[in-house]
């Protein structure tokens, strides 16, 4: 991400708008709302906090399955239905690492002002922890479900 406004930083750190930033350089498939798809590699300089995604070496796939190659392709956030995260990327650990890396300056600011966290900061931190705990719980449930199936 390049220079970002306050609103952009808020959206990236408090919503799932961080997903394209996590996937910089990765090849992804993006399903669009109009039943079409785009596959390509996410360009690091083309993503922003509003979830605009800039793809390079992209292939546009229409409803009939016809493919059209593009050197560059821009996807607006209102057209995105789903972003397929590659299998080799572990979403939970990548999200934890990215949040730790991005939120580090915020922690320094909190220490320097020597005050309590605001309600908004507490709520954002609580929501992040809830989401990460839910992901971890799902993984544990899947792991225990898989071991039970193998023992039966």
Give 124-141 pLDDT, tens digit per residue: 888 888 888 888 898 888
129 in a structural domain: yes
User: What is residue 110's predicted lDDT score, i.e. its pLDDT?
Assistant: 45
Q: What are phi and psi of 69, to 5 degrees?
A: -80, 145
User: What is residue 68's predicted lDDT score, i.e. its pLDDT?
Assistant: 96
> Exposed, middle or buried: residue 34 (CB in 10 Å: 0-12, 13-18, 19+)?
exposed
Cα 124 from Cα 118, distance rounded (Å): 10
Q: What residues contact residue 85 under an 8 Å CB cut-off, 6+ apart?
A: 19, 23, 28, 91
Residues 117, 100 share a domain: yes
Domain boundary among 84, 106, 134: 84
Residues 115, 70 share a domain: no
Residues 60, 12 share a domain: yes
Q: How many domains does the chain contain in total?
A: 2
1 in a structural domain: no
User: What is residue 97's predicted lDDT score, i.e. its pLDDT?
Assistant: 82
111 in a structural domain: yes
User: What is residue 114's predicted lDDT score, i.e. its pLDDT?
Assistant: 60
23 in a structural domain: yes
The pTM of this model reads 0.64
What stretches in the chain show pLDDT beneath 50? 1, 106-111, 150-152
Residues 34, 18 share a domain: yes
Residues 141, 78 share a domain: no
> What distances in angstroms separate CA 41 from CA 27, 117, 130, one per listed residue?
4, 38, 30
15 in a structural domain: yes
65 in a structural domain: yes
99 in a structural domain: yes
Q: What angle do CA 4, 8, 14 make, to 5 degrees?
A: 135
Range of the domain at 18: 6-84
Cα 110 from Cα 108, distance rounded (Å): 5
Residues 33, 69 share a domain: yes
152 in a structural domain: no
């Amino acid at each position: 991400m390049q220079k970002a406004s306050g609103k952009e930083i808020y959206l990236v750190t408090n919503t799932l708008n961080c997903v394209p930033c996590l996937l910089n350089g990765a090849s992804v498939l993006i399903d669009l709302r109009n039943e079409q798809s785009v596959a390509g590699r996410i360009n690091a300089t083309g993503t922003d906090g509003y979830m605009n995604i800039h793809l390079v070496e992209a292939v546009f796939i229409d409803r009939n399955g016809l493919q059209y190659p593009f050197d560059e392709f821009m996807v607006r956030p209102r057209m995105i239905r789903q972003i397929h995260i590659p299998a080799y990327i572990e979403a939970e650990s990548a999200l934890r690492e990215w949040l730790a890396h991005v939120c580090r300056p915020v922690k320094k600011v909190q220490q320097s002002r020597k005050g309590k966290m605001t309600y908004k900061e507490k709520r954002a931190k609580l929501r992040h922890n809830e989401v990460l705990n839910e992901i971890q719980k799902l993984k544990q449930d899947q792991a225990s479900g898989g071991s039970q199936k193998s023992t039966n």
